[in-house]
Amino acid sequence: MSQAQTESVDEDGVIESVSGPVVTAADLDARMNDVVYVGEEGLMGEVIEIEGNLTTIQVYEETSGVGPGEPVENTGEPLSVDLGPGLLDTIYDGVQRPLDELETKMNSAFLDRGVDAPGIDLERTWEFTPTVEAGDAVEPGDVIGEVPETESITHKVMVPPDSDGGEIESIESGTFTVDETVATLDSGEEISMHQEWPVRSARPAAEKRTPTVPLVSGQRVQDGLFPIAKGGTAAIPGPFGSGKTVTQHQLAKWSDADIVVYVGCGERGNEMTEVIEDFPELEDPKTGKPLMSRTCLIANTSNMPVAARESCIYTGITIAEYFRDMGYDVALMADSTSRWAEAMREISSRLEEMPGEEGYPAYLSAALSEFYERAGLFENVNGTEGSVSVIGAVSPPGGDFSEPVTQNTLRIVKTFWALDADLAERRHFPSINWNESYSLYRQQLDPWFRDNVAEDYPEVRQWGVDVLDEEDELQEIVQLVGKDALPEDQQLTLEVARYLREAWLQQNAFHDVDTFCPPEKTYRMLQAIKTFNDEAFNALDAGVPVEEIQEVNAAPRLNRMGTAEEWDEFIDDLEGDLESQIRELY
Amino acid sequence: MKEYQTITEISGPLVFAEVDEPVGYDEIVEIETEDGRTLRGQVLESSEGLVSIQVFEGTGGIDRNASVRFLGETMKMPVTEDLLGRVMDGSGNPIDGGPEIVPDERRDIVGAAINPYSREYPEEFIQTGVSSIDGMNTLVRGQKLPIFSGSGLPHNDLALQIARQATVPEEDEGDDDDDEGSEFAVIFGAMGITQEEANEFMADFERTGALERSVVFMNLADDPAVERTVTPRLALTTAEYLAFDKGYHVLVILTDITNYCEALREIGAAREEVPGRRGYPGYMYTDLAQLYERAGRIQGREGSVTQIPILTMPSDDITHPIPDLTGYITEGQIIVDRSLNSQGIEPPINVLPSLSRLMDDGIGEGLTRGDHADVSDQLYAAYAEGEDLRDLVNIVGREALTDRDNKFLDFADRFENEFVQQGYDTNRSIGDTLDIGWDLLSTLPKEELNRIDEDLIAEYYREDAAEAVQAD
Ligand SMILES: Nc1ncnc2c1ncn2[C@@H]1O[C@H](COP(=O)(O)OP(=O)(O)O)[C@@H](O)[C@H]1O
Ligand SMILES: [Mg+2]
């Protein structure tokens, strides 16, 4: 997190009371959202309420042993993040303290308190290459140079949004630390690679646009049925164990975003460790470079201080916006937004605020929409186009989607991936329920799929949707009379639907090949099942009994398409065999 | 140390006292009653001039004249390797008549969070000898895998079976006796269980000689409820010390988390907090996480902490806040099922809602066996399909089902009777478990095994089994 530049000039306050993460102080001269240091140990906190002479502070660290009478010092600055080269290939806590740095400073595997560290390394040097020259006029947001930040990402150095702009007086290539001046303006303003931004305000943009390009996920049920746009929003609600985290990890691994910001909010420590261990080894399918070099991780695990859980979401989205400003497509995953909402609830209840639905604060809905509003496809102030896609997991108590966080989220997001415990139990993964889920982006993305995957992509998809719908209806009858009692054509529909579910919608995240499915393969797999469908119904019309059609030995090979490495040939052969074998029957 | 006789209010487990110097949040307090008893408590809220104190042993016997001492530190657990073999009460006082414990160190019982950057991802297979766990919900070293059960179900038998049989196969080879490393040190933390249950555990520990490598903390049903909030923290502080300082692989059994949560609810109510779902405090998720997350492995450290918390689901309801919040934090769950239990299945584990989230990295070629993941997936899918058909067969009868459906029905029955059923004394190797899996899968047509790699089917599928079934 960003550290106060100036020594505090304000009066210190004195702690009046301590209750868990909430501390009140008297005589503190502070503004709302100022960062303060609490107690003898200087624990980081933020002002969240001011009433008369009393200031209420949420503390981002454990408060055990802290008592009344200890001092509170105001930094006079709002909670901000450090922005600049060094954000990627990093793991932070909820207030942007690098966790590797904390390990070193604390000399322990356990998180101690009262230790601070800047969000980006202030000592490290970077190769800066200007993209403008002396005499050029620049405005806030304009790119003035580039730094190779990681193997795969070029960091764009921008004029800070709060600068006045002007004419470049001097600018040179060279090796600099983030705080050294790389350019000087005629106004005398010095520009370095280091910016700060208060996390609770969105970074400015020129215009929000309608997204028309999908965030390709490499997951069949998503790309195939419920696509999300670059700059879109999605929610993944589901009970525990239904696959929220694996789905988020899959998107972080395989989606075609330029930058991934992954926020582990109030979830397991090991899940973050898994990312830290796996991502450096995995290849970005787009660039062939290690995935970690496009990734920024933010971890406030469930046992870390609850106030920092409230802030980690904002830390994440601000970093995402910063890369968006450079013209990148950023995807932000938040796992889980429910823990964030619960953190708000916990703080709010300690403040004895009037509770709204289920004890959540009345501003829950506003906080959620403010957050998701920061997603979008934007024309940036510097004229480039960038996007932030936001995908939030939701953890409804008891798996009941009628609760406030799910409901308020669904009112905002445009893609709904509903996870289903029943599917998860039978190990149908991803357990995204195809009847309940939806994507409101389908139509605006169709042209892209037509142009880039197949001209008839939307039609073939619609065929698949129709078969699955029909199966849903037929299942109700089957539950009463058994499958054998159905007419033959309906039995065949059930068979086709089964292939859609088992061979197409199911996708094993842990299989080397199946884990990532390019949209072309998604399309061809669906086509192959349709080939089976069309041939089979022709045969049925020609009087072939349904059992004979089902027993065609090429059919079960449909189940092997997902794991087939040479899928193009595999599907060519399979379609050929299906055709000839079924036609042989009549 | 200053003494106060300034108690202004006593309410449930809470005592409020006026103070004239600052007292730290979470600090330990001693309260001496007029009849000379000393009770311990903890500061729940500290403001200028007034503190609220939660008394572990209950507030019975405290009156306005009791004197209050603030110890100036948060609660500590004295740790040493000599704790192994000892039995203590729920506050950490020895109750086994053994020698006084000379600590190496005193550790804060509210453990600091492990830095996620310092963790090592758990992936060493633990063989429990229980097929439905090893085969389909594999436990690994450093995992937190709770048992979700119901009142009157045999969760204790299962927990004891795991504690007795758990080994890490590779290290086991050859020198069995002198290799302490592959044996687990067991930390047993009891919260509000009955004396009878406690005896069951103790008798088993003694019978198998496990007591020597165990540390036992006992808060029984008639012990103070508030003490239950401390007991698991003492247990976990000891576990972390033995694992990360002394290199032990530690298995922590905590039972019953439901009683722990009831204690939290009681304290919350006494503090007049705004209650969350079903009256449990809104911070229960965070509170439970502070227990469950104290499991794992740390880079560069020898030992590990594996947790098996046990909880009884009120009315067998998995959506109840206690199992629900637990399931959201732990790395899976093992479900003990009432109807399987009445069928006489031992252990009555229902695999379908059970899960081990760390299974995927702990199994496979070189770890267990190359076919493990596929076999597990297929067993799940086939059993789920058979289970579905049971409802239907009740309505339409077997004759109305297709041949295929009938095979899945038979499969589901045999799965319960041969794979899940094994008794509490049978210790199956992972190889045996997977072989039984193949016996059952081979009763299904080969083409139905769409979760299993074709090469593996070629290697393991038993043509004879399928024919045998077709014949009759
Ligand atoms: N796409 C998938 N492929 C294979 N297994 C999956 C997939 N999604 C989920 N799983 C399985 O489900 C388990 C639980 O998933 P997880 O994402 O951790 O659930 P949640 O976050 O909803 O609690 C995982 O450990 C894994 O075994
Ligand atoms: Mg999860």
All domains of chain B in start order, with CATH: 3-74 (2.40.10.170), 77-362 (3.40.50.12240), 372-471 (1.10.1140.10)
Which 3 state secondary structure label does DSSP give A377?
strand
pLDDT of residue B225: 84
CB of A40 within 8 Å of any CB in chain B? no
Comparison of pLDDT for B469 and A11, the residue scoring more: A11
CB of A545 within 8 Å of any CB in chain B? no
Residues of chain A with C-beta less than 8 angstroms from the C-beta of B116: 91, 99, 264, 269-270, 272-273, 276, 299, 301
pLDDT band at A11 (very low <50, low <70, confident <90, very high): low
> Residue B119: pLDDT above 90?
yes
For residue B36, how many C-alpha atoms fall within 13 Å in the half-sphere facing its CB?
Answer: 0
Comparison of pLDDT for B304 and B37, the residue scoring more: B304
CB of B403 within 8 Å of any CB in chain A? no
> Residue A10: pLDDT above 60?
no
Test mutation, A72, A276, A303, chain B, max B CBs within 10 A:
A303
Determine whether the interchain pair A19/B25 forms a contact, defined as Cβ–Cβ distance below 8 Å: yes
Q: Cis omega (within 30 of 0) on the bond before B347?
A: yes
Residues of chain B with C-beta less than 8 angstroms from the C-beta of A91: 116-117
* Average pLDDT across chain A, whole number: 93
pLDDT of residue B127: 94
Over residues B191-198, the mean pLDDT reads: 94
- Both tokens of residue B1? 């140390």
> Residue A167: pLDDT above 50?
yes
* Average pLDDT across chain B, whole number: 91
pLDDT band at A266 (very low <50, low <70, confident <90, very high): very high
A266/B248 Cα distance (integer angstroms): 29
A352/B282 Cα distance (integer angstroms): 13
Distance (Å) from CA A240 to ligand 2 centroid? 7
Most confident region among A5-19, A148-162, A304-318 by mean pLDDT? A148-162
Determine whether the interchain pair A111/B115 forms a contact, defined as Cβ–Cβ distance below 8 Å: yes
Residue A395 φ then ψ, to 5°? -115, 85
Q: What percent of chain A has pLDDT over 90?
A: 81
A231/A213 Cα distance (integer angstroms): 9
CB of B458 within 8 Å of any CB in chain A? no
Are the beta carbons of A355 and A296 closer than 8 angstroms?
Answer: no
Q: How far is CA B321 from the centre of its chain?
A: 16
Q: Which of B23, B121, B453 sits opposite A277 (nearest CB)?
A: B121
Residues of chain A with C-beta less than 8 angstroms from the C-beta of B353: 421, 425
Q: Considering only A182-191, A290-299, A336-345, B399-408, which range has the smallest mean pLDDT?
A: B399-408
With a CB-CB cutoff of 8 Å, which residues 344-373 of chain B face chain A? 352-353, 355, 357-358, 360, 373
Distance (Å) from CA A579 to ligand 2 centroid? 43
Beta bridge partners of A14: A26, A71
Residue B407 φ then ψ, to 5°? -65, -40
DSSP state, residue A484 = G
pLDDT of residue A115: 86
Give the distance from residue B374's alpha carbon to the nearest chain A alpha carbon, in angstroms. 10
pLDDT band at B416 (very low <50, low <70, confident <90, very high): very high
Segment holding A192, helix H or strand E: strand A190-192
- Sign of torsion, CA B129 B135 B140 B144? negative
pLDDT of residue B248: 95
> Residue B472: pLDDT above 80?
no
Q: Helices B321-329 and B257-270, interaxial angle, to 10°?
A: 110
Burial class (CB in 10 A: 0-12, 13-18, 19+), A209: middle
> Residue B457: pLDDT above 70?
yes
Write the CB contacts of B303 (distance below 8 Å, at least 6 apart in sequence): B242, B243, B244, B246, B247, B248, B249, B250
> Residue B440: pLDDT above 90?
yes
Over residues B81-103, the mean pLDDT reads: 94
pLDDT of residue B34: 86
Relative to beta strand A385-394, strand A233-237 is parallel
B50/B46 Cα distance (integer angstroms): 6
- Ligand 1 in reach of A395 Cβ (< 6 A): no
pLDDT of residue B172: 44
pLDDT band at A416 (very low <50, low <70, confident <90, very high): very high
Distance (Å) from CA A464 to ligand 2 centroid? 29
A80 in a known ligand binding site = no
pLDDT of residue B470: 45
**Ligand 1 atom with minimal separation from the A395 CA:** 22
> Residue B349: pLDDT above 50?
yes
* Secondary structure in 3-state letters for chain B: CCEECCEEEEECCEEEEECCCCCCCCEEEEEECCCCCEEEEEEEEEECCEEEEEECCCCCCCCCCCEEEEEEEECEEEECHHHCCEEEECCCCECCCCCCCCCCEEEECCCCCECHHHEECCCCEEECCCHHHHCCCCEECCCECCEEECCCCCHHHHHHHHHHHCECHHHHCCCCCCCHHHCCEEEEEEEEECHHHHHHHHHHHHHCCHHHHEEEEEEECCCCCHHHHCHHHHHHHHHHHHHHHCCCEEEEEEECHHHHHHHHHHHHHHCCCCECHHHCECCHHHHHHHHHCCCEEECCCCCEEEEEEEEECHHHCCCCHHHHHHHHHCCEEEEECHHHHHCCCCCCEEEEEEEECCHHHHCCCCCCCCCHHHHHHHHHHHHHHHHHHHHHHHHHCHHHCCHHHHHHHHHHHHHHHHHHCCCCCCCCCHHHHHHHHHHHHCCCCHHHCCCCCHHHHHHHCCHHHHHHHHHC
pLDDT of residue A64: 84
A339/A345 Cα distance (integer angstroms): 9
> Residue A104: pLDDT above 60?
yes
The one-letter amino acid code at A360 reads Y
A199/A197 Cα distance (integer angstroms): 6
Q: Considering only A151-165, B23-37, B323-337, which range has the smallest mean pLDDT?
A: B23-37
- Both tokens of residue B288? 């439970």
pLDDT of residue B44: 87
Give the environment of ion ligand 2: residues with CB less than 5 A.
A 244-245
Residue B103 φ then ψ, to 5°? -75, 150
Beta bridge partners of B109: none
Give the distance from residue B199's alpha carbon to the nearest chain A alpha carbon, in angstroms. 33
A245 in a known ligand binding site = yes
Over residues B188-205, the mean pLDDT reads: 93
Q: What percent of chain B has pLDDT over 90?
A: 72
Q: Which of B117, B289, B327 sits opposite A103 (nearest CB)?
A: B117
Over residues A275-285, the mean pLDDT reads: 89
- pLDDT (tens digit per residue) in A511-540: 999 999 999 999 999 999 999 999 999 999
Which 3 state secondary structure label does DSSP give A4?
coil
Over residues A395-418, the mean pLDDT reads: 96
pLDDT of residue B471: 41
Which 3 state secondary structure label does DSSP give A524?
helix
Over residues A428-447, the mean pLDDT reads: 96
pLDDT of residue B170: 65
Nearest-5° Cα angle at A278, B364 to B455: 30
Closest CA to B75 of B60, B91, B90: B91
Segment holding A522, helix H or strand E: helix A519-541
Answer yes or no: is the ipTM higher than 0.85: yes
With a CB-CB cutoff of 8 Å, which residues 236-295 of chain B face chain A? 244, 273-277, 282-283, 285-286, 289-290, 292-294
> Residue B25: pLDDT above 70?
yes
- pLDDT (tens digit per residue) in A119-129: 999 999 999 99
Which 3 state secondary structure label does DSSP give A523?
helix
Residues of chain A with C-beta less than 8 angstroms from the C-beta of B392: 478-479, 482
pLDDT of residue B339: 96
In testing the pocket of ligand 1, which one of B144, B318, B352, B355 has its CB within 8 Å of the most ligand atoms? B355
DSSP state, residue A45 = E
> Residue A8: pLDDT above 50?
no
pLDDT of residue B334: 97
Relative to beta strand B249-255, strand B119-120 is unpaired
